A and B are shown apart, each in its own frame.
Chain A
Amino acid sequence: MTYFTLSLTLLFVLIPLLLAYFLKLGIEKDILVATVRSVIQLLIVGYLLQFIFDQDSPIFMILMVGLIIFAATHNARQKGVNYKGITWKLILTYVTIEVLTQAILIGLNITPATPQYVIPISGMVVGNAMVLSILFLNRLTSEVEDKQSEIELILSLGGSTKQAIHRQLITSIKASTVPTIEKQKTMGLVQLPGMMSGQIIAGADPIQAVQFQLLILFILLTTAILTSIMLGFLSYPTLFTEQMQLKQTFK
């Protein structure tokens, strides 16, 4: 696609912009900011990836993955301010998921250890983990706030902190993973996944595109479950004091 052709796609920005202006929706500025940001961010990433692919060095590849994990952590940690040490808990979760995924993919020769494969897959894996962790932290916080009398009841009967929070942890894990599982159920029926569509548009064999998409879907399923469980078990102790009391921030 040439830059001229690309510039023609701005028509798809112009349509909502004009509609927003004439209908006085008040979202014109947001549309412009989103457009400019996406153009700049994606172009930078494009050139960055081009540079990394040209270097063919594992160091740049690892640095790029590190940058992805840093950005995801920075974004998700704002939802976990009530959880002491949330930054390190998120980093540990994302790094574990990334290492596990790449170990299986590269170790079993499913994908090669080249930046062309490692970086996009890492982006999808960590990106999904980031969304999952935000959903999980939001849900756990509201569960603890809503069900504090139930949590205190179990503590008051001599239960441990893990027993006290068990029901809320399970509910939060289930709630945060439901979108991933439900999306997977309707995959191909309601929508064609972005990566698969991209490959088909770029001229790839549809069956091969489907194979890659299935690979990603299965990885994302592991990511979803693992993120919630790991973050849950890392986070819940910070909700309680050493004397096994629910911390004041949640009351």
Chain B
Amino acid sequence: MTETVLSLDHVSYTVDDLSIIKDMSGTIEQGKITAFVGPSGAGKSTLFRLLNQLKTHTKGTITFNKEDVLTIDPMMLRKKIGIVLQEGVMTPGTVYDNLALPRQLHDQTLSEEEALSFLDKVGLEARFLKTKAKELSGGQKQKVSIARTLVNQPDILLMDEITSSLDQVSTQAIETLIKKVNKDDHQTILWITHNIDQAKRLSDNTWVLIDGECRYQGPTDKLNEATDQTVIDFLEGGDES
């Protein structure tokens, strides 16, 4: 039986009387890829920020390995639930500086050999190690972002629409990478995408978020059997953004 690593119990998030996440419940299984799809403004990115406590939910409970996330030290939690942010943000310096950052934050070092193995994991050649991070292409930045998050060896990897601004070749490369990381390391991956076909290609499970509510949650291959009319409308709408 698959183990639950993350669960949400009636979670809501409200800011200035605006409900962004509404009474959301569900579970995430260990070692699976779970896609989060839905139109813009559905609350997908906010949900990810709640999961690793870059924001705090206003109602309900989020548990990570059966422990309430609010009782876990935020610095520790964010190491365990790593997030790759949408913009592929790079800090000033080289690719190595970016890869070493997670270790530096905890007064540790990253050897060049380790850095190269992380680059290799995300399919970047060794020559990129000393390249200035700002000189990388969008796809390369996203790959370095993924590698940088993996340096922390997170139990869960959250990826926030990391392919939305990439071309087809880069998108395919990232998709292959996600599959590889999931297969090789049995890494639990949650990722946001606008693209339903992409979700179908890659994920074991899918959550469909519409207007802050989770309207479908289950195996991706049964997505077409969804009975909720808003989900059917969204699926028919295709690559809505």
Confirm or deny: A248 has a beta carbon within 8 angstroms of a beta carbon on chain B.
yes
Asked if A157 and B149 sit within 8 Å, CB to CB, the answer is yes
Q: Does the CB pair B102–A158 fall under 8 Å?
A: yes
> Closest Cβ of chain B: how far from A141's Cβ, in Å?
20
Q: Please measure, in the bound complex, the distance between the C-alpha atom of A244 and the C-alpha atom of B76, giving whole angstroms.
A: 12
What residues of A have a CB within 8 angstroms of the CB of B15 in the complex? 248
The answer on a CB contact under 8 Å between B75 and A156 is: no
What is the CB-to-nearest-CB distance from B189 to chain A, in angstroms, rounded to a whole number? 16
Say yes or no: B54 contacts A155, CB within 8 Å: yes
Q: Are A243 and B53 in contact (CB under 8 A)?
A: yes
The answer to whether B91 touches A156, judged by C-beta atoms less than 8 angstroms apart, is no
Q: How far is the CA of A152 from the CA of B74 in the complex (A)?
A: 13
Q: Which of B75, B85, B106 contacts A153 (CB 8 A)?
A: B85
CB B168 to nearest CB in A, in angstroms, measures 26
A163 CA to B56 CA, complexed, in Å: 20
Residue numbers in B under 8 Å from A248 (CB-CB):
15
Checking A157, A241, A243, A244 against B148 with a beta-carbon cut-off of 8 angstroms, the contacting residue is: A157
Q: How far is the CA of A152 from the CA of B85 in the complex (A)?
A: 9
In the complex, the answer to whether A243 meets B76 with C-beta atoms within 8 Å is no
In the bound complex, how far is the Cα of B101 from the Cα of A39, in angstroms?
A: 57
Verify A153–B91 contact, CB threshold 8 A.
Answer: yes
Q: A155-B78, A158-B78, A158-B102 are in contact. Are A245 and B56 (CB under 8 A)?
A: yes
Cα-based distance from A245 to B74 in the complex (angstroms) = 9
Write the chain A residue with the least CB distance to B69: A243
Total contacts A to B, CB within 8 angstroms? 59
Q: Is A150 an interface residue (CB 8 A)?
A: yes
Question: Counting CB contacts under 8 A, is A112 at the interface?
Answer: no
How many residues of B are in contact with the other chain, CB < 8 A? 25
Contact A243 B56 (CB under 8 A): yes
| Given contacts A149-B89, A150-B91, A248-B15, A159 and B105 within 8 Å (CB-CB) | yes
Complex Cα–Cα for A163 and B91 (A):
13
**Is residue B186 contacting chain A, with contact meaning CB distance below 8 A?**
no
Asked if B117 is at the interface (CB within 8 A of a chain A CB), the reply is no
Give the interface size bracket for A toward B: 10 to 19
Q: Would you give the 0/1 interface string for B51-66, flagging 1 where the beta carbon is closer than 8 Å to chain A?
A: 0111110000000000
**Residues of A contacting B52 with CB < 8 Å?**
156
**Chain B residues positioned under 8 Å from A244 (CB to CB):** 53, 74-75
Chain B positions within 8 Å of A156 at CB level: 52, 54, 78, 82-83, 85
As a 0/1 sequence over residues 152 to 192 of chain A, the CB contacts with chain B under 8 angstroms (1 = contact) are 11111111100100010000000000000000000000000
Mask, B100-124, CB within 8 Å of A = 1, is 0110011000000000000000000
A245 touches B105 (CB 8 A): no
Compute how far the CA of A149 lies from the CA of B52 in the bound complex, rounded to whole angstroms: 15
B149 nearest in chain A by CB position:
A157
- With A243-B53, A243-B74, A248-B15 already in contact, the answer to whether A157 and B152 are too (CB < 8 A) is yes
Shortest distance between the CB of A147 and any CB in chain B (Å): 9
Do residues B89 and A157 form an inter-chain contact, with CB atoms below 8 A? no
Cα-based distance from A152 to B148 in the complex (angstroms): 14
Q: Is B87 an interface residue (CB 8 A)?
A: yes
* Residue B194 lies at the interface, judged by CB distance under 8 Å to chain A: no
- Sampled A-B contacts (28; CB under 8 Å): A149-B85, A150-B89, A152-B85, A153-B89, A153-B91, A154-B101, A154-B105, A155-B54, A156-B52, A156-B78, A156-B82, A157-B78, A157-B82, A157-B101, A157-B105, A158-B75, A158-B102, A158-B105, A158-B152, A159-B105, A163-B105, A167-B91, A241-B56, A243-B53, A243-B74, A244-B74, A245-B55, A245-B56
Besides A156-B54, A245-B55, 10 other CB < 8 A contacts? A149-B85, A154-B91, A155-B54, A156-B82, A157-B101, A157-B105, A157-B152, A158-B75, A158-B105, A241-B56
Q: Which B residues fall within an 8 A CB radius of A?
A: 15, 52-56, 70, 74-76, 78-79, 82-83, 85, 87, 89, 91, 101-102, 105-106, 148-149, 152
